[in-house]
Amino acid sequence: SLLSATDPIAVLTLMKELGAPKGLTYQISGESLFNDGTSVILFTVFFDMSRHRRGQYASVARLIRIITRMIFFSPCLGILVGAIAVYWMKKASRRHSKTDALVQLSVLLVAAYLGFFLSDNSKIGQASGILTTVACAAVISFRAWPFIVSREAIENVWATAEHVLITMIFSVVGILMSRAKLSQNVNGRDVLNCIILYLAVFAIRAVVVFVCRPFMNCMGPHKVTTKESIFLIWGGLRGVIAIRAVVV
């Protein structure tokens, strides 16, 4: 669950600069969205099982019910939150109005974090906050984009928020890594295991990509070539989600 999440930010930035095909761009970004949600669900379940909540997962049937509720309840909640956000954004859609632009931006921020909180809170939803946020964003992108007052402002605010939050996460990880490096519990065998695990992850990803390649070629007009398959393998970088799970 830790190693299944991919981080396409750096890869997509490079692809835009090089003018890569849109079909390949959609595959990498789409894979990241669904992998992040799946990895968080699996990590949450197995992390709880390894600690003091084993009673919740006493049977396989109950475990399947919990995972199913996470998978299906999360998108439904996200669609609901997204629909409400679209309604309020449509109410504040006067062009060249700074107040309406601020209202729309506030609605987007509230929708993103409120949906995540409602889904991730065990007392309310006990679902996947990431899947809820993705579904909410999909609804807003599909329905609200035509009447957004200031697209540039929204893109700049979210880009800044993304940069600040990712910088904070990597800063925390850097502090923890410096402490681990000074610890006597870390030795050469641990470093060797990390290298072996790194190579194993790429080998497993290569098998998955080439096995799924015929099925991907049947799903759309864009055909995945051998070169693109190799790029998909190499572009599956591990990033913020895996690091966040490790920090937890």
pLDDT tens column, 164-192: 887 887 787 777 777 665 556 767 787 78
pLDDT tens column, 184-226: 676 778 778 888 887 887 888 888 888 888 887 787 777 778 8
How far is it, in rounded angstroms, from Cα 193 to Cα 53? 29
Q: Is the pLDDT at 105 greater than 80, yes or no? A: yes
Higher-scoring residue by pLDDT: 127, 8: 127
How far is it, in rounded angstroms, from Cα 114 to Cα 137? 12
- Verdict on whether the full-model pTM lies above 0.75: no
- pLDDT value at position 87? 92
How far is it, in rounded angstroms, from Cα 182 to Cα 105? 44
- pLDDT value at position 225? 81
7: pLDDT confidence band, cut at 50, 70 and 90?
low
SS3 content of the chain, % helix, strand, coil (to 5): 80, 0, 20
- pLDDT value at position 116? 86
